[in-house]
Structure 1
Amino acid sequence: MHIIWVLIVGAIIGAIAGAITKTSLGWILNILAGLVGSYLGEMVLGSWGPHLAGMAIFPSIIGAVILVIVASLIVGAMRKK
């Protein structure tokens, strides 16, 4: 049951990051951006603020936003070739 909550929270974090950056990656990539961004955000910024499903919300969102920006820059560069 815990994994379901992690996926749901990861999807929400990824969707928030997509909304902040005005980037649509699709729901699977939103989940991945939320999960990976959460991991990276907590590694760099620490685990502060409110937690949900074992993820610190604010560092997770910041990490996911950065990840979405980097991913969209890479995809944009690949499309130009």
Structure 2
Amino acid sequence: MHWIWVLIVGAIIGAIAGSITSHGKSMGCAANIVAGLVGSSLGEALLGDFGPQVAGMALIPSIIGAVIIVWIVAFFVNKMD
């Protein structure tokens, strides 16, 4: 049951990051989950685990990390076009 919550929270974090960077329209549900999970790992590695936590993920560093991931991916996707 924990993994289901991790996927749901990862999708929400990815969707928030996509809407902050205005690249959320081009991302699907799977990309939101990946951006949320990878962003959570990156954000917590760089910033620690402060703030409220849901499903073992600190929300503020996770969103910041996901925004960084979305910007990086969008940069490379735009370079390929």
Common fold: TM-score over 0.5: yes
**Where in structure 2 are the equivalents of 1:42-81 lying within 5 Å?**
42-79=44-81
Q: Distance in 1 between matches of 2:42 and 2:67?
A: 11
- Matched pairs, number: 79
Q: TM-score, normalised by structure 2?
A: 0.96
CA offset at residue 8 of structure 1?
0.1
SS at match of 2:30: helix
Unaligned runs of 5+ in 2: none
Gaps of 5+ in 1: none
**Deviation beyond 6 Å, 4+ runs, structure 1:** none
Q: Which residue pairs with 1:16 in the alignment?
A: 16
Identity across the alignment (%): 63
Deviation at 1:78, TM superposition (A): 1.0
Q: CA deviation at 1:26?
A: 1.1
CA RMSD of aligned residues (A): 0.5
